[in-house]
Amino acid sequence: MSPVNLKIEGPRNPSSKEYASLLYFLSQSYGFSDLRWFENDTSFFYGTRPDQLKTKWVLKHGDQFASHVGIFPFNAMVDGRPIKVAGIGSVATHPEYRGRGLMKKLMTHVDRQMVQEGYDLSILWGERSLYKPMGYERGVFQDRFSFNRRFLKPLPLGKSIRPVKAGDWPTLQKLYTRHPFHTDRNVDYLKTLHRRFNRGIPEPIWVMEKAGKVVAYVIVFKINEGYEVAEWGGDVKNVIDLIASVLPKPSTGIVWISIYPGCELYRWALDHHEGQVRTPTSCMVKIINLGKVLKAFESQLQARYESHSLRNLGSLSLQLPGQDKVTLNFGRNLQVEVGAKSGKALMLTQSQCVRLLFGGTSPSYELKLKDFELELLDSLFPLEWYWWRSDWI
């Protein structure tokens, strides 16, 4: 079967009739024996409803699925401002059709689709070498702490510490949305997390009740090196008591949590951690609409502008190929302006832009830029952002 002879149909969305064979194809491509692996992992996005099918893109050869790429839509909130995020996942080509450019063809199609559908940013978790040629770069570094379970003091399980119950979901939803960084999800999404994380641990979602009210929750799951906390909500003392109490016995080994700076749990972690690493894990980012992304971070940029007493600097413009120029105006307040006509802009590659906005260190280390206001960029970037483990795709 030479590539030229292949009669490939698509890209198109799968139909509801094809759904079962799509799941089979995905598991087969990843070498998973569980035919419902993908549906269990991100079940909110899987199913035969039109809104679930229209985000999946396939190529077929006769009756056989040859390749698939999925868009997993999120509305990420940054201090109350939305970023329309296209998560990319379930990227697969059937073993018999690999090396013929099919994944590349679908990624190119999905790229256009993301622009057409007005996404601001795309995020995925995968190999850098595979996705870098498609304009993605490692970004969104997070502090990942490990804790020795010996030093966490478990409380007895019972009425006040118990697995989540049907009536708890709206409270969990409220606790989650109190975080400055979260995705805009509904209760149905939250319910699917139970199915996602109960592999290797029968009860992944636990709550703490006080005076008949749920005041905190955690979502935990098994990883090779111990356990990990995928999500938490509530006051720090209650969250720590929950983590200490709900992991399976014996109470030894390591538990990992990625925590965003500034929250109470982060301050507790600085005092009690066993290890701390700053890592994007396998996260890759592509900026589709720089103006919208910077607008979402405007209050964060403003806070830095004030704390560095940066005044009367005029403006600073940034631009990505094919996108509008984005200007940071430094007046009384810092303002993000999209599409300003005058002034020169710093042209960035996708990779430079991701490292500037969401890199691991300051721009003067990350970017090879000449004749530019590196000191100014250093005081404003990288931005602080957090993506929950429970929202990985």
Q: Name the site residues for ligand COA (rule: CB under 6 A).
A: 29-30, 67, 91-93, 98-104, 126-127, 129-130
Question: Hey, what amino acid is at 22?
Answer: L
When the beta carbons of 130 and 201 are compared against ligand COA, the nearer one is 130
Compute the least distance from the CB of residue 108 to ligand COA, in Å: 10
CB of 105 to ligand COA, least distance (A): 7
Strands 205-210 and 161-163: antiparallel
Q: How far is the CB of 220 from ligand COA (least distance, A)?
A: 25
How many whole angstroms separate alpha carbon 245 and alpha carbon 315?
52
Q: Which residue is nearest to ligand COA (CB)?
A: 126
Query: Whole-number minimum distance, CB 230 to ligand COA, in Å?
Result: 19
Shortest Cβ 282–ligand COA spacing (Å): 8
Q: Which amino acid is at 221?
A: F
Residue nearer to ligand COA on the CB measure, 129 or 342 = 129
Nearest to 299 by CA among 376, 383, 373: 383
Cβ at position 393, least distance to ligand COA in Å:
10
Residue 230, token pair as written in the block: 């995928």
Among residues 104 and 278, whose Cβ is nearest to ligand COA?
104
CB nearer to ligand COA: pick between 65 and 232 = 65
Closer to ligand COA by CB, 132 or 162: give it.
132
- Is residue 218 a contact partner of residue 227, using CB atoms and an 8 Å limit? no
124 within 8 A of 284, measured Cβ to Cβ: yes
Looking at the Cβ atoms of 59 and 193, the one nearer to ligand COA is 59
374: closest CA among 386, 387, 385, 361? 361
Checking phi first, is residue 281 left (phi over 0); if not, alpha (psi -120 to 50) or beta? left
170 CB neighbour count, 10 Å cutoff: 11
Name the minimum Å distance from CB 90 to ligand COA.
Answer: 8
- Specify the residue, 6 or 130, whose C-beta has the smaller distance to ligand COA: 130
Give all strands (DSSP E) within the chain, no chain letters.
8-12, 56-61, 64-78, 81-93, 121-125, 137-138, 142-148, 161-163, 181-183, 205-210, 213-223, 226-234, 254-259, 275-279, 283-287, 314-319, 326-330, 334-338, 346-347
